[in-house]
Structure 1
Amino acid sequence: MQPARDVQPADGDLRLTFLASPFGVRDGLAQMLAAPPLGDLAPDLRGTAELVLAEVLNNIAEHAYAAGPGPVTVTLTAEPGGTRCLVVDQGLAMPGGRVPVGNLPSADTAVEDLPEGGFGWHLIHSLTRDLSYHRAGACNRLGFLLPHGG
């Protein structure tokens, strides 16, 4: 998997740093959805962006910063085919140094045997392109493209 590439925000792009806590994530999402480049999207694309970013940011708050909230920086850069996202935090590394696969269980799986979690990663994999992760020093860097059609 390729490292998450740096994105350089330009006019109409957004770089936002906030605390990865339930309230920090909620407020950060609201700011991202109200400003370009996400604020300029059609409602269905903005809803998809909200779903993906909420899953990513809540995972950071719950797992990377399990011992307590810490900073997260999200950079959103408009591209012809979508919005490039880079999410950087200083929490714990992803288990195994890679993004969880996020496979859905078989339809034959009994309700009591369903795994805890992992469904969000299935959504993230399904709704993004160019998903990448690497640990750079004390930072996690998760990058992806939110496609805008086709």
Structure 2
Amino acid sequence: MAETFACSFKATEQGARSCISAVMQGLRDIDLPLDRAGDVQIALAEAVNNIVEHAYFDIEDGEISIQCDLSPEELQIRISDTGPPLPDGQLPVGLPADISGPLETLPEGGFGWHLIRELTCRLHYERQAGSNQLSLFFDMPTKQT
């Protein structure tokens, strides 16, 4: 049986920090395995911060909703926002940034989607009724007996 909880917050940097912290506490409360918590927190933070920085770049009253469904096999985190749709209605490819050059030429950003793709087992995005729906899926470790 899946455990579920949800929260929503204003799309600000402070709101994002508070909500990510609340989501992680909620996941611990419904027994997210400790060995998955770090990956989940990093991917969630990258996704939420992308929404705050890009989808709501010039919108002051943006709202983000998060729903978590945790079963023994999988965690699904569904993130909803009403910002503009992703370009071409597709998730970014998320190729790793080129870090082969000198330190001063390294990019400041461009690592987020690659990290999200590396830390999740799959992603799903759709635009539905004026809302972006991004789902992050994480496999849960099998319990050793």
- Short-chain TM bin: 0.7 to 0.9
- What is residue 129 of structure 2 aligned with on the other side? 137
- What is residue 16 of structure 2 aligned with on the other side? 25
TM-score between the two structures when normalised by the length of structure 2: 0.84
- Aligned-partner residue type, residue 75 of structure 1: Q
Cα deviations by residue, 1:15-41 (Å, 9 ceiling, x for unpaired): 111112111111111111112466522
Conservation of the 8 A alpha-carbon contact between 1:19 and 1:69? yes
Structure 1 unaligned residues grouped into runs of 5+: 1-9
State which drifts further: 39-48 or 109-118.
109-118
- Give the Cα–Cα distance (whole angstroms) in 1 for the partners of residues 118 and 61 of structure 2: 28
- Aligned-partner residue type, residue 82 of structure 1: E
- Aligned-partner residue type, residue 5 of structure 2: L
Cα deviations by residue, 1:110-130 (Å, 9 ceiling, x for unpaired): 545544522010010011122
Conservation of the 8 A alpha-carbon contact between 1:84 and 1:146? yes
- Give the Cα–Cα distance (whole angstroms) in 1 for the partners of residues 130 and 102 of structure 2: 40
- What is residue 126 of structure 1 aligned with on the other side? 118
Conservation of the 8 A alpha-carbon contact between 2:83 and 2:132? yes
Matched, 1:103 2:95: yes
Identity across matched positions, percent: 33
Conservation of the 8 A alpha-carbon contact between 1:16 and 1:75? yes
Matched, 1:53 2:44: yes
- Aligned-partner residue type, residue 86 of structure 1: R
Cα deviations by residue, 1:71-112 (Å, 9 ceiling, x for unpaired): 111110012322111111001211221111111134544545
State which drifts further: 109-118 or 121-130.
109-118
Conservation of the 8 A alpha-carbon contact between 2:32 and 2:70? no
TM-score between the two structures when normalised by the length of structure 1: 0.81
- What is residue 5 of structure 1 aligned with on the other side? none
Superposition RMSD in Å: 2.2
Matched, 1:65 2:56: yes
- Aligned-partner residue type, residue 134 of structure 1: E
Conservation of the 8 A alpha-carbon contact between 2:63 and 2:82? yes
- Give the Cα–Cα distance (whole angstroms) in 2 for the partners of residues 35 and 82 of structure 1: 16
